[in-house]
Structure 1
Amino acid sequence: MQDNNLDLPFWEGFSIWNFDRRSDGIWISLVPTVGSIARCSNCARACSQIHGRYWRTVREMTMVGEPVWLQVHLRRVRCPDCGTCAEHIDWLERHARVTRRLAQFVGLWCEKLPVAHVCEMTGLHWETVRRIERAKLATQLAALPIAEPVRLVMDEFALFKGHRYATVVLDADTRQVLWVGEGRSREAVRPFFEWLGVERCRQIEAVAMDMNSAFDLEVQQHCPRARVVYDLFHVIAKYGREVIDRVRVDEANQLKHDKPARQKVKRGRWLLLRNPENVPEDQQPKLEELLAANQALMTTYVMKASLKELWQPRTAWQWRRSWKSWLRMAAQGTLEPLQRFARRLHPYWRGILARLRWPMHTGQLEGINNRIKVMKRMAYGYRDSEFFFLKIKAAFPGNP
């Protein structure tokens, strides 16, 4: 079917020249509307000289349940300022093989569905959908204002199985994900400080993190004014693994002759790791019975509560007395796991004390890490880490 005068608002500046229904979809041929003036795709200047003409095949939104293919007759213009270049089209990006309308549709659904589902819904190739989404993410990130962080939060999350991690850096004030990189070593996080630059590094006043020496050393090297703040959650989690679990196993091994008592100790792990206020009421008697029957577990449980109090607001001198008291009690005890943990914790005292001046933690980044895991599960994993990091940064642009 041919119609030289059919002009529709879907494709501004073009008229339908031919319409054909084939086995693979609907094919529509478009030609420039009579009298339309071509504009330069670089400067949008109207150009009267035409250098040449060519056809481009483009995918459009699905209509009446069938794929739509556009064969567009395009012009190359001779611009006085830019030279020879393609004409500007409002509904089609330069060199694009899909219309802007379809690209926007793909970008919208990629925020909610895995790429494979979007491919099935639109009939586009996986690489085409991924390229469209990547361009959208790059545009979103480029539109964000330049970050001027003062406080940072650093943490890692599992990228793949096999102890492969990625590091996330968050602006603690705006909650914007500033940077994501693979690895958690000094070399892995150094590109972030190089991206931040010398001037912005000097503005950093505090950085919250776990007891990761790589993070600590890089912050000290690049941010001379920054104070490192160690997160309570990570320290207590480390205490649970290295002290409570080790003492519990040792005590269970000593009760081989008393199987009922041994089972209580072995099964009491989660009761010992929970905070007292989080223990269910029906489990309170079991916890009290367990602590009353085992002096070593009682000691580790009390020492954990005392350790947590070091993060409570107080003066520097009060903290110093509490810190020395905790170290002394740990050293004077008979529990080797507790003594070993205290020796390892001692060099990090400045990062614990900094909590009094900078009440920061990595909790907000832990919540973001949980959402990152959901994104990864929805997509059944990402083969391209760089693209995954773009999605993370676009998903957390910060507070308006």
Structure 2
Amino acid sequence: AWRTAGDIAHRVAGRLKASAPSPFDHLTSIGVDETSYRKGHTYLTVVVDHERRRVIWAHDGYGRDVFDLFFQQLTDEQRASIRVVTGDGAKWIDSCVSQWCPNAERVLDGFHIVSWMTDALDKVRKRLWNDARRGGDQEGVKRMRGVKYAVLKNPDHLTDRQEESLAALRNTDPKGQLYRAWQLKELLRNLLKHPLGQATAELKRWVFWASHSRIPEIVELSKKIRRRRPDILRTIELGYSNARLEAFNNRIKVTIRMAYGFHHVDNLIALIMLRCGGLDIRLPKPTT
């Protein structure tokens, strides 16, 4: 029965954690993110140890109150050893880090920085699509629909058809809002890969161009980028990212599908720790 399987996972994970060294000792860099595990915006908050490449903590819910629970389990010495905290731009991560680990570097994940731009880019496309639809511009409607995925993907991941759609947009409307927004997206994505000195100058130019683009969604985003510029440059300087945490999220989602019949979230968390927590699982040997 699912209830029995969940109880087994919970009991085994608890036994292994009790016999293993504390996962909170000697932490230097951690990543935090939330992942949905049920319909209706039901989330788990997951914390990963970047250096030892494992999940060290998970809890039902998300937000400052939940992340506070993680730090409350740590001793003063364990909190003081943390030097880097990666995550998205959520304010609750910033406030928790500043309270519990004031000496830690707060690093934004490059993936989420680019996602801010792709979200703004999609808003530009939707606005232009609606404008074309209301104005009876069928050619514009078709063009905006055809580049829906092409403008959001990296150029090296485009299909042949998406490359043709993007080329058509460039040839028919090279000074249009959508194409210029796409260019700004690519500039932002690429500057994150450059050395700090070069990236600093390029980010300054990017903010200037974006703020003077006369594209409302991009102008609004430029204010956010300008406000978070120190965090973005720190991300480039330290070279940390949430890529490993994102990979764990994929594995966690597989685990969630495996445990769809569990009645308690604690049993799901136990199974996640068994699969992603680096616990030393040793099956009993047959007796002769």
Query: Same fold by TM (over 0.5)?
Result: yes
Q: Does the CA-based 8 Å contact 1:230-1:361 persist in structure 2?
A: yes
Contact 1:209–1:231 (8 Å) recurs in 2: yes
Q: CA deviation at 1:381?
A: 4.6
Give 2:126's aligned residue. 249
Larger helix share, 1 or 2: 2
The counterpart of 2:148, out of the listed 269, 285, 298, is: 269
Shift of residue 291, structure 1, vs aligned partner: 2.7
Partner of 2:283: none
Deviation at 1:283, TM superposition (A): 3.0
**Which residue number corresponds to residue 263 of structure 2?**
383
- Partner of residue 341 from structure 1, selected from 208, 221, 225: 221
Greater share of strand: 1
SS of the counterpart of 2:70?
helix
Q: Aligned residue for 1:307?
A: 188
Larger radius of gyration: 1
Q: Percent identity?
A: 26
Q: How does the TM-score come out when normalised to structure 1?
A: 0.65
Q: Is the 8 A contact 2:196 2:237 kept in 1?
A: no
Correspondence for 2:167 among 282, 288, 308? 288
Q: Does the aligned pair in 1 maintain the 2:6–2:262 contact within 8 Å?
A: no
Q: Secondary structure at the match of 2:239?
A: coil
SS of the residue corresponding to residue 133 of structure 1 reads: helix
The residue type equivalent to 1:246 in the other structure is: K
Report 1 or 2 for greater relative contact order, CA contacts < 8 Å, sequence distance ≥ 6: 2
Partner of residue 285, structure 2: none
Alpha-carbon shift at residue 282 of structure 1 (Å): 4.0
Question: Which residue pairs with 1:215 in the alignment?
Answer: 93
- Give the Cα separation in 1 of the matches to 2:51 and 2:68: 22
Gaps of 5+ in 2: 281-288
CA contact (8 A) 1:376 1:382 kept: no
In 2, the alpha carbon distance for the partners of 1:174 and 1:301 equals: 37
Match of 1:141 in 2: 17
CA contact (8 A) 2:9 2:270 kept: no
Deviations, residues 33-54 of structure 1 (Å, cap 9, x unaligned): xxxxxxxxxxxxxxxxxxxxxx
Q: Is the 8 A contact 1:271 1:287 kept in 2?
A: yes
C-alpha contact 1:158 1:166 (8 A) present in aligned 2: yes
Alignment-derived partner of residue 61 in structure 2: 183
Q: Distance in 2 between matches of 1:167 and 1:215?
A: 11
How is 1:1-400 mapped onto 2 (pairs within 5 angstroms)? Answer: 115-116=1-2, 126-127=3-4, 129-147=5-23, 148-241=26-119, 243-256=120-133, 257-294=136-173, 295-316=176-197, 318-398=198-278
- State the Cα distance separating 1:321 from its structure 2 match: 1.7
Task: Give the C-alpha shift of residue 213 in structure 1.
Answer: 0.9
Greater displacement, 284-293 / 167-176 = 284-293
Asked if 1 retains the 8 angstrom alpha-carbon contact of 2:146 and 2:165, the reply is no
Take 1:181 and 1:292, find their aligned partners in 2: how far apart are those partners? 50
